Structure 1
Amino acid sequence: MSTIDTETVAPRADVESAKRRDIIDGARRVFFDKGFDGASMDEVARAASVSKATIYVYFASKEELFEALVQNDRARSAEHLFEVDPSIDDVATLLRRIGVSFMTMMVQPDHIRLIRMVIAVAEKFPRVGRTFFDAGPCHGGQRLAGLLRRQADLGRLDIDDDLEAAFLFLNMCQSNAVKGLLFGVGEQPTLAQIEAHVERAVRVFLAAYGTDR
């Protein structure tokens, strides 16, 4: 009976994983520069320093590559956004930190470009739109809902629907800033402006869900 040489398989898997990341990183640069329709697999290959044939080993089409990019970026952002200090026992402070982190990511030029690209291709490739929604807004809302539920269990919030409350808070933090940027109206807000948006959202949220309202 033959045995698997784990010392050989593990490095090979690492190499393949690194190659896949290189392709996604190259695709990110090309898609952000050219847009989905303007990007070509030849350009992605040059940006990733691989052959086009190598790209097709990992991704069957440009749509599949873009979908992988969306899923990778949104999942990574959601994981980072809701990493909070467990020692924080003040709900307002917790919400402010989450809100500022969330909004700082939302107004980044590359994030705005990504949203625009997803919207542009979602009608033709609805699976890409679903991937963005599931890995981004939906996943982020679920992560925040879990944090809110823990605060409610500790008696700091009075919430019936965790997920609805989470989406309400995130949407209030955005105010009209993100929508304006999507349509090319206004400039990227400063940190002080973001903090002001978030502070208003926190006050309204606690007025609705705080136990001492």
Structure 2
Amino acid sequence: MTMNKLERPIELAKTDPAPDTGKRKDILDGARRVFRAAGFDGASMDKIAAAAKVSKGTLYVYFRSKEELFEALVQLDRKDAAEQIFKIEDHDADPKEVLLQLGERFVKLMADPDHIALIRMVIGAAEKLPEVGRMFFEMGPCFGIEQLATYFDGQVARGRLMKVGEDTTMAATHFLTLCQGSITKRLLFGLAERPTDAEIRATVESGVRVFLRAYAPDCV
């Protein structure tokens, strides 16, 4: 039996992202608008070409398929974001201050309308493009947890957080969950407006307070 187009397995590009030339950037910007407005299923190369103001021939010079274009868009929108958020330069600083600053950077990204739109796009396409979902998860949440766990390992060695042998990966997961509170979920479901910096700060402070009660040395 012949499979229809949607049933055929999709092979995504495994090469590194190409340089963002002006034309390529125009295409990605157009694709972003189309994917956000129509979703993955509703988007087409025709619509993307029109939004980017290029011919279909030019579009296919840069991207062989809608799937490849979507993957490139996710890579671009995730590029360097996690590294910037979870970069900790002073490992000797007070852990509470480090966590407050990191938590605010993290939640501000999570609450950004463009990031919320990206999450929705990836979730909407994940069933047909599981590799993109996996890539998004590994470039974002997994990378952040790993970086934070490494920081916690160093703080454990200094006797400033947790006990030796504590699961720092689980601790990192707890921390990121506590910092978000209900902010991200409410935004994803369209139940709230973007929070103010003061609201984000209050949520993060609450999360850090609970985290330290569980993991600070004098509480374990």
**TM-score, normalised by the number of residues in structure 1:** 0.82
1:195 aligned partner: 201
Sort the Cα spacing of 1:154 and 1:53 in 2 relative to 1 into closer, same or farther, 3 A.
farther
1:51-66 → structure 2 map (5 Å cutoff): 51-66=55-70
Q: Which of 26, 31, 35 is residue 27 of structure 1 equivalent to?
A: 31
Q: Distance in 1 between matches of 2:189 and 2:55?
A: 36
Q: Distance in 1 between matches of 2:121 and 2:19?
A: 28
2:5 aligned partner: none
Q: Distance in 2 between matches of 1:140 and 1:157?
A: 18
Higher deviation after alignment, 80-89 or 117-126: 80-89
The yes-or-no answer on 1:77 pairing with 2:67 is no
Report if aligned partners of 1:75, 1:136 keep a CA contact under 8 Å in 2.
no
More helix by share: 1
Q: Distance in 2 between matches of 1:79 and 1:170?
A: 15
Report if aligned partners of 2:91, 2:151 keep a CA contact under 8 Å in 1.
no
Q: What is the DSSP-based 3-state SS (H/G/I as helix, E as strand, rest coil) of the residue aligned with 2:218?
A: coil
Q: Which of 121, 127, 135 is residue 139 of structure 2 equivalent to?
A: 135
Q: What is the DSSP-based 3-state SS (H/G/I as helix, E as strand, rest coil) of the residue aligned with 1:212?
A: helix
Report if aligned partners of 2:111, 2:194 keep a CA contact under 8 Å in 1.
yes
Higher deviation after alignment, 141-150 or 189-198: 141-150
Structure 1 stretches of 5 or more lacking a match?
Answer: 1-14
Cα offset, 1:190, TM superposition: 1.0
Q: Distance in 1 between matches of 2:153 and 2:179?
A: 19
Q: Which amino acid aligns with 2:216?
A: G
1:35-46 → structure 2 map (5 Å cutoff): 35-46=39-50
List per-residue Cα deviations over 1:183-211 (Å, max 9, x = no partner): 11122111111111111111111111112
Q: Which amino acid aligns with 2:138?
A: D
1:163 aligned partner: 169
1:206 aligned partner: 212
Cα offset, 1:16, TM superposition: 5.3
Tell me the number of residue pairs that the alignment of Structure 1 and Structure 2 aligns.
Answer: 199
1:81-100 → structure 2 map (5 Å cutoff): 81-86=85-90, 89-100=93-104
Q: Distance in 2 between matches of 1:35 and 1:154?
A: 48
Q: Pairwise CA RMSD of aligned residues?
A: 2.2
Q: Which amino acid aligns with 1:78?
A: A
The yes-or-no answer on 1:173 pairing with 2:179 is yes
**TM-score, normalised by the number of residues in structure 2:** 0.80
Q: Which amino acid aligns with 2:186?
A: G
Cα offset, 1:101, TM superposition: 0.4
1:112 aligned partner: 116
* Identical amino acids, percent of aligned pairs: 54
List per-residue Cα deviations over 1:121-168 (Å, max 9, x = no partner): 212222221121111111121122222222222221125122111111
Cα offset, 1:88, TM superposition: 5.7
Q: Distance in 1 between matches of 2:181 and 2:109?
A: 14
Q: Which amino acid aligns with 2:70?
A: F
Q: Distance in 2 between matches of 1:145 and 1:16?
A: 32
Q: Which amino acid aligns with 1:177?
A: I
Higher deviation after alignment, 129-138 or 67-76: 67-76
